[in-house]
Amino acid sequence: MQDLEAIEDNRMSKLIIGLILDGIGMLTYSVFGLGEFGDIIWAPIAGVIMTRMYKGRVGKVAGFLTFLEEILPFTDIIPSFTLTWIYTYFFQKK
């Protein structure tokens, strides 16, 4: 029973952290003129964080896609951390 609680805690922690990180990714556009410059700094950081949050192939692919999403112009609206969480806990076959 305690293992199930630990899994649920980890699941909720990843969701909360993911929502915060998606918010940080979108914040670069809240300051006029900072958008793309902020993305140059944030994109590699977000990619590494994603790779460490989700292990294995999912983490590697999601890390790469997160990097692309952050570095490409006008794609910051995509919540990549949240989408990866949804994929991991609802769609991935175990």
Amino acid at residue number 69: E
Give the residue from 41, 39, 40, 52 showing the smallest Cα distance to 81: 52
- pLDDT value of position 3: 65
Residue by residue, pLDDT tens for the chain (94 residues) are 556 666 567 899 999 999 999 998 888 777 666 667 778 889 999 999 999 999 999 999 999 999 999 888 878 889 999 999 999 999 877 6
- pLDDT value of position 4: 60
Place of tokens 């990843």: 14
**Neighbouring residues of 67: CB distance < 8 A, sequence distance ≥ 6:** 43, 44, 46, 47
Segment 3-18, tens digit of pLDDT: 666 656 789 999 999 9
Give the residue from 70, 68, 14 showing the smallest Cα distance to 42: 70
Domain range summary for the chain, segments of one domain joined by +: 2-91
19 token code pair:
């929502």
